[in-house]
Chain A
Amino acid sequence: EVQLVESGGGLVRPGGSLRLSCAASGFNFSISSMNWVRQAPGKGLEWVSSISSRSTYLNYADSVKGRFTISRDNAENSLYLLMNSLSAEDTAVYYCVRDTWRGFDSWGQGALVSVSS
């Protein structure tokens, strides 16, 4: 069974930084493309970033480009999102998502990031 478990969420002050982690299990993580998708309170889904299986291709939404960095450790079956220069607009639940040819077929339970003074 595919499992994606996010951690590292919490309350951070504007301008601060936070690093999210996602522990993957139940599938061959090292050959899977992965994504971060976020959802602000009461709002829709927003794709944030993607990373190919060997970290060759990285992609970011314009809203986070230059502030967020996606990375992965295939030996540890882990996905990361380093978030810098956070603002209130970044407040959201952040989902770790597996990417296949079918689309985003597996989602974690999400990690809440709250940016507030």
Chain B
Amino acid sequence: EIVLTQSPGTLSLSPGERATLSCRASQSVGRTYVAWYLQRPGQSPRLLIYGASNRATGIPDRFSGSGSGTDFTLTISSLEPEDFAVYYCQQFGSSPTFGQGTKLEIK
């Protein structure tokens, strides 16, 4: 099983600041199989990024993804109030796994 470790566990920032979220895999993962999800309180998760760096439909361009191999990053260039939520990375190879999540909270 591929274990994904996200850091930090909690990130405290202010609106307008830049957020950088990390996801490290226990073994190399093809970029095609890396995704990021956003979950707001009381809502279902939503696909943000697929193929490590491609924005899903309707996702604003302040969200970007990068990385390869075992290290992947989600960047939010300038935080909006609605961005404060929990973010999960995922690899969806033969047996999908999720990271434990990063909570982005208002400072």
Contact = CB atoms under 8 A, between A and B. Distances in A.
Contacts of B100: 44
A37 B46 CA distance: 13
Interface in B14-72: 32, 35, 37, 39, 44-47, 50-51, 54, 56
Interface residues of A, number: 21
A104 B44 contact: no
Interface in B68-103: 88, 90, 92, 94-101
Interface string A41-67: 000111100100000000101100000
A90 to B, nearest CB: 17
A45 B44 contact: no
Interface of A: 35, 37, 44-47, 50, 59, 61-62, 95, 99, 101-105, 107-110
B90 A104 contact: yes
B92 A103 contact: yes
Given A102-B50, A102-B54, 5 more contacts: A44-B88, A45-B39, A45-B98, A47-B97, A50-B96
Contacts of A45: 37, 39, 45, 88, 90, 98, 101
B37 A59 contact: no
A47 B98 contact: yes
9 contacts: A44-B100, A45-B37, A45-B101, A59-B95, A102-B51, A104-B35, A104-B92, A107-B44, A107-B46
Contact of A102 (B1, B45, B47, B88): B47
B47 A105 contact: yes
B46 A103 contact: no
A15 B32 CA distance: 40
A37 B98 CA distance: 10
Contacts of A95: 44-45
A61 B98 CA distance: 12
Given A45-B88, A95-B44, A108-B44, A103 B98 contact: no
